[in-house]
Amino acid sequence: MDPASLNYTKTHEWVAVEGDIATIGISDFAVHLLSDLVYADLPPVGKKIVQGQPFGEVESVKAVSDLYAPVSGEVTARNEKLPDNLDLLTSSPFGDGWMVKVRLSSPGELSNLLSQTAYQSHCEAEKH
């Protein structure tokens, strides 16, 4: 997936929308901040997630961090390869490292998200 075409949250999740299906992951910036990842807890298929609410967890050697839903909807798939291959998040955060796919329940929410440019300035600001 081309990072420039994605939408982002201030909490570092990204979304790619195709029809009414959104694919969700976390950005390379987030993966870098978390450092050594040891565990990911993703919601089961069928689970309803809500924009801005936690939908899963990633654990690094330093901390457990919540994953916040960038959009609302029902989970239609999760990346079953990911929990046992967390390296995918480092090697391909915007591709093979995707986390879940959801069927959008409120497509209008997409307007709350950031463009890549806006997200990058947010990250720059967070570095300081």
Among 64, 81, 115, 118, binds other proteins (CB under 8 A): 64
Structure tokens at 34: 């978390």
- Interaction between residue 63 and other proteins (CB under 8 A): yes
Among 36, 62, 87, 107, binds other proteins (CB under 8 A): 62
CB 26 → other proteins: shortest distance, Å?
A: 17
- Interaction between residue 74 and other proteins (CB under 8 A): no
- Interaction between residue 87 and other proteins (CB under 8 A): no
Residue listed under structure tokens 């959801």: 102
What are the two backbone dihedrals, phi and then psi, of residue 30, each rounded to the nearest 5 degrees? -65, -45
CA dist., res. 95 & res. 23, Å (int)? 10
Q: Tell me the site size for other proteins, rule CB under 8 A.
A: 10
- Interaction between residue 41 and other proteins (CB under 8 A): yes
CA dist., res. 56 & res. 15, Å (int)? 15
CA dist., res. 81 & res. 32, Å (int)? 20
Binding interface with other proteins (CB under 8 A): 39, 41, 47, 59-64, 66
